[in-house]
Amino acid sequence: MIALGRRYKLPADAYHPLLAVSLNRKLRYMYGGNFFRFRDGETEKFYPESDISEGSKLIEVYDQKEKYGFPAFNATQEDELRQPALEKVNGVVKAVFNLGQYLEFAGNPAQFIDKDFTITTIGESDFPRPMLAIWGVSDSITVEPGETTSRFTFNNDMGSIVQNANNKVTQLFSGIESTQNGKRVISMKSDNGGEGHLVPSDTTNDFNRITIGKQGERYYSGSFTEATIHLGDTTNLASTKIWEEAKLAY
């Protein structure tokens, strides 16, 4: 990873998020805990207190944020058959999901998601499937990285970024956008410069689950490293800084 300049704050310091999870690094300067809990054979360990090895499986990722009035929302999977494998590539830890594997955020953070939000993720896949999803019985939001096309959805609305050769860092924004004539938009951008925008027709928000690796019966295949979800009180400047910092870090 590239060392950050002083002008960039970590994503959970630039503005207080709803949740902030990473397998790889601190997202808040004052965070002093482990990043995740994992299974090494029959033994449970914690990273970076203990390093991963070949065959390690992810059990739980710890929410690093500190937000007044909100508890920590950890992403967990206790079923061994549904736990993704862990690998370290060039010093960066990733969870590698096969179809059917996922983690779910405990404590129902989905209840706090309204129509305005900023989601920043680190992960890669060859085909757009739901890496991160906020969903309920009828409503859903998904972030779906893909090798040539990345996709994003909000209920019945779907947008995409094509010719997306580098899909590792993505940011999904929903809110009023001055550059789009002050309209409410849902937009996604990737670290290769691709962007996609759409004017939503339906932004109802009946959500009760946030998952990494699935949405309903649709499952993800690919890698995951990091995600932050900021609510609508986040400023445009803070969202931009979070985006720039993520690209520098990865």
**Domain locations in the chain as residue ranges:** 11-22+95-249
Express each pLDDT in 32-44 by its tens digit: 999 999 999 999 9
Res 197: pLDDT: 74
Question: How far apart, in whole angstroms, are the C-alpha atoms of residue 200 and residue 186?
Answer: 7
90: Cβ contacts below 8 Å, ≥ 6 apart: none
Question: How far apart, in whole angstroms, are the C-alpha atoms of residue 215 and residue 212?
Answer: 8
- What share of the chain in percent tops pLDDT 90? 69
Q: Burial of 110 by CB count in 10 Å (0-12 exposed, 13-18 middle, 19+ buried)?
A: buried
The CA-CA-CA angle for residues 76, 80, 82, to 5°, reads: 70
Helix (H, G, I), strand (E, B) or coil at 18: coil
> Considering the domain 11-22+95-249, what is its CATH architecture?
Sandwich (2.60)
Q: Mark the ranges of the chain whose per-residue pLDDT is less than 50.
A: 1-6
Mean pLDDT over the full length of the chain = 90
**Cα dist from 73 to 99, 108, 183, whole Å:** 24, 8, 32
